Amino acid sequence: MTIASGFSSQGVDLTDKSILITGGTGSFGRALLRQLLDHHNPRKIILFARSEFNHFQIQHALKPEELKKVRFFIGDVRDRERLIMAMRDVDVVVHAAAQKQVPLAEYNPFECIKTNVIGAENVVQASIRAEVKQVIALSTDKAVNPINLYGASKLASDKIFVAANSLASGTGTRFAVVRYGNVLGSKGSVIPFFRELLKNGATELPVTDPRMTRFWITLQEAVAFTLSCLPVMVGGEIFVPKIPSMKITDLIEAMAPDIPQKHVGIRPGEKLHEMMITEHNALHTVDMGDRYVIEPEWSFWTRPSYTEQGYPTMPEGFEYVSDKNDKWMSVDELKSVLQTIPEGGQ
């Protein structure tokens, strides 16, 4: 079931390329690994992550012929020297490593900063040192007008990767950012949470606020969209997919239509609606059909302009906000997508 614009990575040529994925044993890393092995014939895929057990799990899930292409590199993005070692002879880096849990980030702020901000700087420095050709970093809608530490740390990360194109001037290394909304059914998200409550006999489901809306994308579409940005990136852009919004109350209706909803109020660090492009960003945002591209507003490095390529700019006052979206998921569409999400999340 496709919920967005049918993003495809089929036109992306990664044949004989060496690709490193930070946070490579997480949900996104595993899905990207699968996509690369099935469709892109890379020379080598390096999974860079600190969880020994997750590395072990993936090793035992792959076929013998697939294992020949995969390297399991235990490491932390906080360790720049380890990153430099892992990036030798790497063509493409996909930076997916992050600390994402909002309450835990608030309680452990220094740990969040070490991974999300200092880790971003380390990826930049190591990529330049290793002369990596392309680096694409994953971001989040929570980085826009952030109200919690996780969002603020990802905003800082985005700024680091955009500015990195100036630092890398003359080296050939290019950096871009992909920003999307909530991944439907990801581990630790609301769908596995609601499923667990229902499994344990819940007679009602908690709703923070009946007006709440969110942007949604499936894990497979997030991977395909990220890969589809590689052939067009010139450095400094933030790519934003056009994806649908969803009402939290509609999700509950799709999961358990006969269960009452209990309104519990917005939690600390949580927004009523999420935003991916601000009114200020609109001044340098172009429409590429299935995505928006936020061009860097600073002119301290030379780059081709998407406007000069004929893509229209967004009108003054434009914002990309989940409650003002022109794409919405219906209850029936949500029911179809829910059937594709495994128990416990993906």
213, exposed or middle or buried, with CB in 10 Å at 0-12, 13-18, 19+?
Answer: buried
Q: What is the rounded distance in angstroms from the CA atom of residue 139 to the CA atom of residue 158? A: 7
Catalytic residue among 17, 100, 142, 271: 142
Q: What is the rounded distance in angstroms from the CA atom of residue 56 to the CA atom of residue 45? A: 16
**Please, are residues 170 and 235 in contact by the beta-carbon 8 Å criterion?**
no
**Residues 51-75 as b or e (16 or more Cβ within 10 Å = b):** eeebbeebeeeeeeeeeebbebbeb
Residues paired with residue 22 on neighbouring β-strands, in sequence order = 48, 95
Q: Cα 244 vs. chain centroid, distance in angstroms? A: 15
Phi, psi of 157 (to 5 degrees): -60, -45
DSSP state of 116: I
- The question of whether 154 is a catalytic residue gets the answer no
Q: What is the rounded distance in angstroms from the CA atom of residue 304 to the CA atom of residue 296? A: 11
Report the alpha-carbon angle 277-278-282, nearest 5: 80
Residues forming the active site: 142
